[in-house]
Amino acid sequence: MGHKENLIRAARECLLRTGYARTTVRELVASSGANQASINYHFGSKEALLTRALIELNTEWGELLFLALEGPKDSVGADRAEADRGRWERIIDSIQANRELWFVNFESVAYTQHDPAIKAMNAEAQKTSRTALAAAFADLGEDADPEHAHAAGSHYYSLLVGTALQWLTDPAAAPTAAEIVAADTRRETHEWA
């Protein structure tokens, strides 16, 4: 493995361990075995290296989300609420199993204001996530009305982000999959007790 690959691997590890803002050149050098000149030669700056690693981690985050949405084949034939509960359970399990990855993605939002590459990455990830969520939770695939798919995808993306934030910061009070589905069902039917 060359210096460039070692730097990307080290940047990924540092992002997951200490985050974007707290990762230093010294830490990248120590973790990669490369020197500071290698960072500048291959990437131009520490920030460009971290952004490259962040984009890879964001892709990994998306792959984990899509796996949770697909889930096992045993959900075929299950009623809608049961299938949705299973999806939310898999999403919550994925959040708990990949806490560092979720934290890094939340942290990246703060950098969208100053880094066009991170802003573009986040915008594309949101678009892809909305599309996948609309298909999974509202059966709105590629042939659906784009406005309906966007609205449904945005709704479920908001639920996803809010759920993740609660499980990351206060898991004892975070909603269960059953509670999310029950609240969403009540919202759809306007049956709040």
Report if residue 82 sits inside a domain: yes
The sign of the dihedral angle between the CA atoms of 37, 42, 43, 46 is negative
User: Which pLDDT value is given to residue 186?
Assistant: 67
pTM of the model: 0.87
User: Which pLDDT value is given to residue 124?
Assistant: 95
Report if residue 75 sits inside a domain: yes
Instruction: Find, among 192, 166, 191, 193, the residue nearest to 177 by Cα.
Output: 166
CATH code, domain with 97: 1.10.357
CB 157 within 8 A of CB 133: yes
- Residue 147 sits at the vertex; the CA angle it makes with 141 and 148, to the nearest 5 degrees, is 55
User: Which pLDDT value is given to residue 188?
Assistant: 62
Domain region containing 172: 53-189
Report if residue 152 sits inside a domain: yes
Longest dimension (CA), the chain: 64
User: Which pLDDT value is given to residue 3?
Assistant: 86
Q: What residues contact 171, with CB distance under 8 A and at least 6 apart?
A: 96
Report if residue 165 sits inside a domain: yes
Report if residue 19 sits inside a domain: no
Please, is 192 exposed, middle or buried when counting C-beta atoms within 10 Å of its C-beta (0-12, 13-18, 19+)? exposed
Total domain count, the chain: 1
| Tens place of pLDDT per residue across the chain (193 aa) | 788 999 999 999 999 999 999 999 999 999 999 999 999 999 999 999 999 999 999 999 999 999 999 866 544 545 889 999 999 999 999 999 999 999 999 999 999 999 999 999 999 999 999 999 999 999 999 999 999 999 999 999 999 999 999 999 999 999 999 999 999 876 665 543 3
Report if residue 39 sits inside a domain: no
